[in-house]
Amino acid sequence: MTASPDASPTTSIVIIGDRFMLPGMFERAIRDKCGDRPVDIRSHEMPWPDEPMEHGYAKAGMDGLKEYQGDADEIVSLVGDAEIVVTQLAPFSAGMMDRLPNLRLIAVSRGGPVNIDMAAARARKIRVVNTPGRNASAVAEFTIGAILAETRLITRGHESLRRGEWRGDLYRADLTGEELSEMTVGVVGYGHVGTKVVRLLKAFGCRVLVHDPYVQLSVDDLNDGVEQASMERLIAESDVVTLHARVTAETRGFFGTAQFAAMKPGAFFVNTARGPLVDYAALTEALKSRHLRGAAIETFAVEPVPPDWELLQLDNVTLTPHIAGASVKTVKYAAERAAEEVRRYLAGEPPLNPC
């Protein structure tokens, strides 16, 4: 059908999807929101690379961009003359933007737009929007599961039964857990995920300590007895320590030999945040010596981890392959927000989440 001469020009939108975006969901959301506008949407799936990379999806070193997936030339050719790009992991460097003169909006479904050169985008007046907290409830729920997997020995019980071993005497010491209602849980980082972890923990009746030097506790949490603590106090008093900070110059290597030694004997350690926050060789020693009773680890500095890695062989750790944020709700929410950002851009409205 030919457009009438006075019709608005068609806006070209390119979606660069990956395994976190679920095929078709972003395109459907944009069509639902922007159906009354002439849009031409092209969706591409980026193949997932097999080789181990930083956090599983970061190639290091393209103009300081991090946690990205995809080749610059390939992405430039996929985007072509499009005005809008919707992506999660595709990188956009200054050099790539120079080759994409029509690009005006990048909707990036990330907590932080670490795969986009923000200074370059600002200089070229490209609007960049993101979706902070899109996976926060997914990670928070998963974290509670990871804590329970260790404190209630769900993983140990599972492994025991897989080996054909019933529980033995009630109560076999290695399958006798500890209840959160009697524990102190230390939450490091009180951002999108950390605040939700605290909210869920309160239902268990445990004492909750929070360490985050940059944020004040909410009035609700203060009224519910949650305490702000120095890192030293949190480490010394917690039966479970759970990490929810981003990797910065300050937080990189946050937990090493000294911190694990200062934790209570028999305490548990949980990391669903990022591998570089932790010295995993030091954690391995703390678990082997049984100074720590258990750990639940979900993210690593380089992913996938080698199958013969010592941490994977220990009997007092629950390990998952970086799946805490991956829920259907996360993707639905991200698609909905990206579509709303596209609608706002097309309608000349201000963005929901400008970067």
140 binds ligand NAI (CB under 6 A): no
Contact residue for ligand NAI among 139, 198, 286, 296 (CB under 6 A):
139
Q: Are 206 and 180 in contact (CB under 8 A)?
A: yes
Nearest by Cα to 188 from 216, 213, 164, 153: 213
- Residue 78 Cβ vs ligand NAI, minimum distance, rounded to whole Å: 26
Among 57, 92, 190, 269, binds ligand NAI (CB under 6 A): 190
Task: Specify the stretch interacting with ligand HPV by CB under 6 A; choose among 106-114, 195-203, 255-263, 289-297.
Answer: 106-114
Give the whole-angstrom CA distance, residue 230 versus residue 217: 13
- Return the amino acid letter for 182: E
- Choice from 160, 218, 228, 251 touching ligand NAI (CB under 6 A): 251
Among 6, 47, 162, 214, binds ligand NAI (CB under 6 A): 214
Catalytic positions, written as ranges = 274, 303, 322
Tokens of 272: 């669903």
Instruction: Write out the H or E segment, with its range, that includes residue 78.
Output: helix 72-79
The DSSP code sequence of 248-300 is -TTTTT-BSHHHHHHSPTTEEEEE-S-GGGB-HHHHHHHHHTTSEEEEEE---
- 112 is a contact residue toward ligand HPV (CB under 6 A): yes
Question: Does residue 66 touch ligand NAI according to CB under 6 A?
Answer: no
Task: Give the CA dihedral 250, 311, 327, 50, nearest 10 degrees.
Answer: 90
- Applying CB under 6 A, does 215 fall inside the site for ligand NAI? yes
Q: Which residue is nearest to ligand HPV (CB)?
A: 111
CA distance to 120, 149, 266, 343, per residue, from 238 (Å):
44, 17, 10, 46
> Does position 244 bind ligand HPV by CB under 6 A?
no
If one asks whether residue 177 binds ligand NAI (CB under 6 A), the answer comes out as no
- 56 counts as binding ligand NAI under rule CB under 6 A: no
**Complete edge-to-edge strand list for the sheet that includes strand 227-228:** 227-228, 207-211, 184-188, 240-243, 267-271, 292-297, 317-319
Least distance CB 98 / ligand NAI (angstroms)? 29
Cα–Cα dist 48/56, whole Å:
10
Rounded distance, CA 219 to CA 216, Å?
9
> Could you tell me how many residues make up the chain?
355
The item of ligand HPV, ligand NAI, none sharing an interface with residue 298, based on CB under 5 to 8 Å by kind, is: ligand NAI
Stretches 37-45, 87-95, 187-195, 261-269: which one binds ligand NAI (CB under 6 A)? 187-195
Name the one range near ligand HPV by CB under 6 A: 92-100, 109-117, 151-159, 235-243: 109-117
With binding defined as CB under 6 A, does residue 166 bind ligand NAI? no
Q: Which of 88, 184, 299, 318 binds ligand NAI (CB under 6 A)?
A: 299
Per-residue DSSP letter, 48: P
Window contacting ligand NAI (CB under 6 A); options: 87-95, 135-143, 178-186, 338-346: 135-143
* Cα separation, 300 vs 277, whole angstroms: 9
Select from 135, 151, 184, 242 the one that contacts ligand HPV (CB under 6 A).
135
Tokens 């669903």, residue?
A: 272
Least Cβ distance, residue 104 to ligand NAI (angstroms):
27
Q: Nearest distance from residue 168's CB to ligand NAI, in Å?
A: 34
Dihedral, CA atoms, 133, 134, 137, 141, nearest 10 degrees?
-110
For residues 272 and 244, the answer to whether their CB atoms sit within 8 Å is yes
Stretch 59-98: interaction string toward ligand HPV, x if CB under 6 A? ----------------------------------------
Please check whether residue 138 is in contact with residue 329, taking contact to mean a CB–CB distance below 8 angstroms. yes
Residue 192 touching ligand NAI (CB under 6 A): yes
- Point out which residues bind ligand NAI (CB under 6 A): 111, 135-136, 139, 188-194, 211-215, 244-246, 248, 250-251, 272-274, 298-299, 322, 324-325
Binding site for ligand HPV (CB under 6 A): 110-112, 135, 322, 325
